[in-house]
A and B are shown apart, each in its own frame.
Chain A
Amino acid sequence: MVKGNFVDQEFEKEFSLDDDQVIREEDHGKLLQSIEMMDSQLRIKPPTRTEPSFNVSEFDLAPIKGGGVHLKELAHALEVKGKAFDSEVATKIRTLTKTSATLQKPLEKNQQKKIKRVVAYNNLTQQVSRWDAAVQTNRAARTIAFPMNIEPVTVKNASEVAELWQSQSQNDFEAGLNALHGMSKVYQEDTKVEQKFRMTLAELRLKRREIAKLRAQQSFEAAKARRQNKIKSKSYHRMLRREKMQKQLKEFEALQKTDPEAALKRLEELERVRAEERMTLRHKNTGHWARSRLIRAKYDPQTRQQLAEQLAVSRDLTKKLKVGDSSEDEETTKEPMKAIPGDEDNPWITVKSSSEIDDFLSGYRKYWDERNKNAETKENAVDEESDKYKRVKKKEEDAIDHSNENERMDQLSKAQVGDDVDECEETICHESLQAEEESEIESNDEGHSINNTLTVSKHENEFRSSEKIDTTDKEYENGKYKDNKEVSSTDTDDNVYTSTVQIKNGSVVKTKLDRKSKRKKIPKYEVKATCQSWIITPISNSEKCVSTEKQGAEILEAETSKIRTSDERVKAFLASVLPETLENEEKKKKKRKSTLDKMFDEVENNISTNFEDRFKKLKSHFGSEVKIDQRMRMMGSGGREEEENDLGASLAVKSMKEARPQEDVELLEGAVETSGATTDIEKLKKTASGINSATFSGISNGGSGGSKGSGRVSGNSNAPAGANSKSAEKNINPEKFIAAKPKVLLTAAPELTNAGEEALDDEMEEDQQKIITEAFADDNVVDDFEKEKEADIKKSQPGEIDLSLPGWGEWGGAGIVAKKKKSRFVIKPPPAPPRKDADKLNVIINEEKAEGIREHQIWEIPAPFRSVKDFEASIRAPVGRTWVPETAHKRLIAPTVVTKSGVIIKPMSEEFLVNKKALLDFTE
């Protein structure tokens, strides 16, 4: 470029020279110079200093001919005449010249850019990598909700920090500092700006905590109020009311002193409240007046009317007024309730006829009426249940008496023959028998048993002194009679019981119970009725009709089932009765042998400890059969008498063997039969035969329809009972039964059941068995199964192939009988291989492949899984709410991505990257 310029100038000059024909000396000199320069090697002019600028031509950086300026030369200027220049500068220059080197030529632009790009890219990758954690968490999240709510990060300003500090400050110095802060400009500005900012996280939390606290308190109050409202105790509410009143009174008095006008107002208000309260008619039944009316109402028709009026008023006042168009309402109300379609099989949803409902209602009403009446008449408010119990107990005692005395008679007769020791044994045996019997008969409390043993002891005393017999028995009789009196007096049904237990000549027992019962409608009472009406005539009068409706044992059982339901009440009653009897007992106990005492105690203990178990067993054994038998309404009473005695015998045996608690009754029975050699049993048998010898004529129904059926304790029964049970199970083949046992699957499914269930396994199994037997009661499942299996076997065997052609090789025509076809054309297949279930009677094993399943099966393990086991486990774990609790189900089916409709999802922002935890730590 530079050179070019020169050339141009030259040409110009030459051109002008031609024009003017005048040679200027200066120009000529220049021309010569330029020609000279053309010869020399360096054509570029060395740079000359011009004004400083940013644009430095790259051509100026070329090396300069002749070395250019050197530092040393410049330094010479600093030299003062003659002297060497300043040593400091000199050293600097020296070091500089040693260390510094000339800069290298800068790279080409492309290269420069490339390097820049590489660096920038490296920076970029590093920068971008900070998102990795956030991205990974989002990707790995089981469920992720969009838009993601992230609290904006806020930074506290000076005023907030100062405030925090202020709240803690205590001493003067700090206070002074705070004041200073308040004056400071920053603080003031901040407080101005403060309004614009949102609350900080910490503040927000504080506020939230306060609100939560408030809410919690509120909820506590509400809960308390609810609890108080739920309390039904009248006395509690009375107390509460009284407390409130007192408080109000106090307040009122205080107010009277301080502000009489306000007090007046308050008084008015109180009056008003009271009037309103009265107006609500809440107290229509509960007031003193109303209650007194209620008591009188039964006898006084006027008071009854008054009461009715009062009620009518309240009804009028509280009647709902119908407002507006009633037609719609009527329509809606008239719409019949959507009845569940009746199912024949389901007794719960069979539609009840209106008559049935009416019956039920009327019965219910009657019951209530009676009950109310009773409540009125009874001044001492004797409980109905205790009543019942008394009756029951009385009957029990009667029954026991009866058997006692029967046996006692025998014993008496034998006492004259045998020696004392034998008698003793007998009595022991007898007594224990009694106790056992009683226990078997389920009077499940000790007190009762004591009662009975008491009677036994009486009899024993009779043994000791035969003169006393009459007196003691009379005593007993009297006691009994008293009891009866009590019963009759408290009885609601106006029944009159007259029971006379007379022992005359030691052979007569007479118990008479007359009953005038009107109740035949309620079957509950019928049972009672049957047991109340026993008439036992002396054995000597056996030719006459002696009718027993029911046997003591079974009656007692029926009764005790009731007693069990009202167990607590019974106990309470016993507690009241017991002291008397105990006193009596003690008097007689003095005369008794100490050994006997022990025996009794033992027996009692046994009873008390083992009673529950026995009762259960008995119930499970006989419960169902008793029901069935009652329905059947069969059997003579003669056999039953025998049974009773047998029962007694067996029980006696039991007691002899130190009363093994859990022994099977039936087994014992067998023992009785086999070990007939023992003297006691012989004696007992004798007594039994004595009873048997008496003829019992048929069954007489004591007027009550329902009582026809005579229950039976069939578990203790001998031949007839056994036959009966057999007849019930006649059509069940003992070989054909289902062995249904729950099978435990080898699943990898999560265990959702409790481990504690194992203990209940047996019971559950039994239940399951019961359910199954009940469900398949009518079906001949086993037969069906066998048929099915046969059909299956037949089907699986390959059939014969018949290749014969009809008419082939046969003559046709009249009178020709077709020959039997040869089996030549029938191809018999080889016999099928033995089936796997050939020797398993109760299974069908299907050995055929199910082709349809194949297309549903997986051939490869899908991606994230490595082993078949893992995959199977994942598939086996169910997610449906049918198999999994609701909460787990919810968790399992939660979608991976949750979005809200109509909400914009913004791209990820940098707030994700903030270490929130660190931030919180900082703020708190």
Chain B
Amino acid sequence: YEDEDNRKKRLLLPRVSYLTLVTDKVKKHFLKVMKQEDMEEMWFEYEGTPLKWHYPIGVLFDLHASNTVLPWSITVHFKNFPDRDLLRCPSHSVIEAHFMSSIKEADALKHKSQVVNDMQKKDHKQLWMGLQNDKFDQFWAMNRKLMEYPTEEGGFRYIPFRIYQTMSDRPFIQKLFRPVSPEGNTHTLGSLLKEMYPAAIPNEVCPDDFQKRYQVVIHGIEPLLETPLQWLSEHLSHPDNFLHICIVPTPTD
């Protein structure tokens, strides 16, 4: 149904997809109230922050608006594209290129690129089409290969992850981290954070502080810090095969 207010458009967006992939309707909607010649590349902003379309939608929400009430009010722009901050997205093939680039990088970390390089071009295409057309089975028919590992190894070579937080200039933290320690201990979400972002773990920094300062959010939920990292990588990665972890300040009521 149509909103009476033509300056707004409501959509239900998948967490695992990308803004520019699922907002063609938005462009069409605003074409009703704007002239095509006035419209340059569309971009999105929330509370003054340009939203990076190449981040999964769920990551953007968790990072910028996790403790707000839905619907998430995003402002759409058709002018003054912030070309220093945002990547251009002139077509869906650019999104596909980014998506495949993430998958390849993830496999470089997990399998030294062996699995993704063994796939044919049509297999790569299947991963993308599965995401684009929201076809779970089609996607996983290929993706399951990227989630396998030699039994004797106990897990992937390195875990593909990115830790996001809005509190620093650095856009994300991404480093090499193994799922199993040299001694054979299973690494958990907690052990990853201890290494990469110790401030996020309450007991390390302030043992007497009963109130958690930060929430560690994946797909909108806070997994237990004891969760094995290998399991998280296999089951809570995004379609791009990365574990996207958001660290947000705990809201003070």
A, B bound: no
Residues of B participating in the A interface, judged by any CB pair closer than 8 Å: none
